[in-house]
Amino acid sequence: MSLTIRQIHKAFPAGKKFQEVLRGVDLDIEPGEFVSIIGHSGCGKSTLLNLIAGLDEPDFGSIELDGVAVQGPGPERAVVFQHYSLLPWMSLYGNVWEAAHSAGNDRSKAQTDSAVEHYLKAVGLWLHREKRPGQVSGGMQQRAAVARAFAVDPKVLLLDEPFGALDALTRARLQEELVGLWSGETRTETVVMVTHGLDEAIYLADRIVVMGAPPFPSIAEILDVDIPRPRNRTTIVHEPQYQKVYDRLMQLLMGPLAAPAEDRALEVPA
Main-chain phi, psi angles of 69, to 5 degrees: -65, 140
The pLDDT score that the predictor gives to residue 96 is 96
Global confidence as pTM: 0.90
d(CA 42, CA 239): 31
What are the sequence ranges of the domains in the chain? Answer: 1-73+206-270
The pLDDT score that the predictor gives to residue 52 is 97
Please say whether the beta carbons of 258 and 250 come within 8 A: no
The pLDDT score that the predictor gives to residue 261 is 38
**Mean pLDDT per 10-residue interval, the chain, length 270 residues:** 94 85 95 94 92 96 95 92 90 96 84 93 94 94 93 93 85 89 84 95 97 85 95 92 96 69 41
The pLDDT score that the predictor gives to residue 29 is 96
CATH number of 1-73+206-270: 3.40.50
How close are the terminal C-alpha atoms of the chain, in Å? Answer: 31
